[in-house]
Amino acid sequence: MQLHVGSLSDDEAFELSVAHALLRRASAGEIDEALRIYRPPAPAVVFGRRDTLLPGFDAANEAALELGFRTFVRATGGRAVAYTQNAVVVDHVKRELDSSFGTDDRFKRYGALIAEAFQRLGVDARVGAVPGEYCAGAYSVNARDVVKLVGTAQRSVRNAWLFSSLIVVDDSQRIRPALAAIYDHLGLPFDSESVGAIAEERAGLTVHDVERAVLTGYAADLSSATEVEPATLTLAHTLRPQHVV
């Protein structure tokens, strides 16, 4: 398995595109499996494509921009998410025949893997949705069945899949009002009290702690990390997600 650790630029659009470049290459048989873990370079709000069809989308986008978040539209499913540099993104790509099967199993397996990683850090982490959460999903990772810590999403293409996890480590006090404004404009249910963060569950935990815990969960050795291949980077530049602005 290829292991890539760390962001590649200060451009979140490019960072988002790398996972889809890895997915394309896995689909083509050029990569068997890859795991990428990185810290986002800047605050961002990433909308789902369905969000763009809602009457309040333009107002939601404007609200995010006014609060200092860059905005994008992603290819994977789900609704709007928000994060800052105090987050960890985990993108797991694998070549697998009949990749459209096993979606629920992957949600369960990798949701449990991340929850167990947090438990080793002393966080009461569980798998399951919490009432009023953003980008609601049955296999979110939460704390105490009260606040959401991680959103997970998948994308399947021919003979390959991408499982992506967004872990909120800190800055929930900034994320809550942003999501409240966005979901209000979109006309979607949301309870700002459902937004959690790892650092609120156990003081002192950092992005670095979370990265190491996740790597341990994946049985990945940091010493085996390599640079992203030039072919992936070249493809990523052509796959940059749509900027709303």
pLDDT tier, 245 (very low <50, low <70, confident <90, very high otherwise) = very low
Who contacts 175 (Cβ-Cβ below 8 Å, separation ≥6)? 82, 83, 84, 168, 195, 197
Which pTM was predicted? 0.94
Tell me how far apart the alpha carbons of residues 141 and 126 are, in angstroms, rounded to a whole number: 6
**What are the tens digits of pLDDT across the range 58-71?**
999 999 999 999 99
Tell me how far apart the alpha carbons of residues 5 and 225 are, in angstroms, rounded to a whole number: 6
**What are the tens digits of pLDDT across the range 126-159?**
999 999 999 998 999 999 999 999 999 899 999 9
Burial of 43 (0-12, 13-18, 19+ CB in 10 A): buried
Mean pLDDT value across the chain = 94
The mean pLDDT of 20-29, rounded to a whole number, is 96
Domains and CATH numbers, the chain: 2-240 (3.30.930.10)
pLDDT for the residue 98: 82
Pairing state of beta strands 33-38 and 2-5? parallel
